Amino acid sequence: MKRQNIILFYLVALLLHGGCQAPENPDWQHLDPQKDGVLGISTTRTYHELLKNRQPTAVIVAVLDGGTDTGHDDLMAVRWINEKEIPGNGLDDDGNGYIDDRYGWNFVGVPDSSLKFDNTALTRLVRQGKKRFGQLTAQTVPIRDRASFDAYQVQLTAFEKARRKAREQLEQLQQLKTCLDKMVQQLGKTAPTLQDFRDFLPHNDQENQVRSLANAKMKRKTYAEFYQEDILERLQQLQQQLAYHYNLEFVPHGAIDSTDNSTALWTGNPDVKGPDAMHGTHVAGIIGASRDNAAGIQGIAGHVRLMPVRCIPNGDERDEDVARAIRYAVDNGAKVINMSFGKYYTSNKSLVDDAVRYAMAHDVLLIHAAGNDGCDLDKQPHYPNPFYSDGDKAAAWITVGASDQTDDETLKAPFSNYGLTQVDVFAPGVRIRSTVPDGGYKRLDGTSMAAPVVAGLAATIRSYYPALTARQVREIILKSAVKYQGLTGRCVTGGIVNAYTAIQLAEQYKR
């Protein structure tokens, strides 16, 4: 097989890795395994049978993310409002240290602008290492610096491998796109169907591989969705990785690569939407999009106030920003914090640990996405995590993997990270429909979608059972998870969260 064909073969395998083939169900995360035969979390059944005519209290849920469009029709009624702050007057009316934070705060920026792109944490570590060790070798480095020098060498190797992988994948996907465009031209249709690709007779190995990819993806997508999401958007992601994430020459305006805990990287601003609010708006909708407006979608939680706290750029989040975002959320009343982000390298873990301890001391439950690299987190550390550097562990933290809707080999989403001790539970995270900026809706995949399902469930429990502590709510969610053989050994519980069983268990805790 020619090298070009081998490259395409491996790229198709990579894309197929994320291609689940269960039948589509609209808004399936709300459905019930018993009544609907779909492995949702029974939200609709729970509200109709267990929570009907009951009076809850609103719970503040902080959305730590890349920005949220609070003006979306499905989010405006449930957005958190800092009533003590007069918007736009340039004053810190409530004296909390943040000027005009009417709807939340943006930690990724300076007073007059918002940062969009940043490096990966690995890139920042390598840049620091080059400054420190760039002119040294194993023979010339001082003995006192040998451990740090060796760590830098490992990081440099990992960085070069990651950058090379991104470059190769970009070249491969460009070849795949060229082949796909020619095939569609041969089909003579601007919107070919799944059957069109099945009927297509390939002329070579490349066309055969591309046809296989289209056949897998279009079982759950239209051609337009497949082309946009799996070709164009993926191309853009890879281009951004090379231009920003893995580019040692790119340093965001105002950034300081420092391990000095006292260094403030950004002063921030009240622009909670930021330059790209797709991800955060989608996450927010999953948690608490209005359930009673007879339009759009319904969030998991029916009585929430969503607090956007922007701390994630297009790239890896900085520990300083995450730590301050957690503290901001806690200080402003959040009882649940959703964190649909993560990375594999950290430079200031102690800062985040201290902020997590602060959240624990204030009875706040933290929900974190497990990540989307198909990794076993028992073998590959992922940050942030509930394990403090001193060996202790946060007691009110849930790490969430992504599941699909049928009890078969696709139950664990292929992209989802897992781990018998590091991942607590799974939740729906494939083809989840939710809000996107400027009034739209879109289906997305990821543990980023699974975590807010759990955050919404946690908020629901806390709104109907406000006397329960964050630790108790965590315990209820994990104990009430419905177990499946396909998740045995993949997480602590071996199951998927379920609202119906969770509310039943919460009632027992209340008594």
Would you name the residues annotated as active-site residues? 65, 279, 448
Q: Are 427 and 403 in contact (CB under 8 A)?
A: yes
**Could you identify the residue written with the tokens 């994630």?**
312
Encoding tokens for residue 151? 């760590």
Residue 155 CA to residue 105 CA, distance in Å, equals 33
Residue 502 CA to residue 480 CA, distance in Å, equals 5
As beta bridge partners, residue 134 has none
Burial class (CB in 10 A: 0-12, 13-18, 19+), 420: middle
Pairing of strands 59-65, 304-310: parallel
Encoding tokens for residue 247? 């580019």
Q: Are 82 and 102 in contact (CB under 8 A)?
A: yes
3-state SS assignment for residue 220: coil
Burial class (CB in 10 A: 0-12, 13-18, 19+), 164: exposed
CA torsion through residues 176, 182, 188, 189, sign: positive
Residue 283 CA to residue 299 CA, distance in Å, equals 10
As beta bridge partners, residue 65 has 310
Q: Are 29 and 453 in contact (CB under 8 A)?
A: yes
- Report DSSP state, residue 131: H
Beta strands in 277-361 (DSSP E): 304-310, 336-339
Q: Are 27 and 425 in contact (CB under 8 A)?
A: no
- Report DSSP state, residue 61: E
**Could you identify the residue written with the tokens 């709104």?**
463
Q: Are 270 and 104 in contact (CB under 8 A)?
A: yes
Residue 430 CA to residue 372 CA, distance in Å, equals 11
Encoding tokens for residue 373? 């690299």
Query: In the Cβ-directed half-sphere of 158, how many Cα atoms lie within 13 Å?
Result: 15
- The string of DSSP letters for 458-478 reads HHHHHHH-TTS-HHHHHHHHH
Pairing of strands 495-496, 482-483: antiparallel
Closest-CA residue to 478 (of 507, 452, 458, 448) = 458
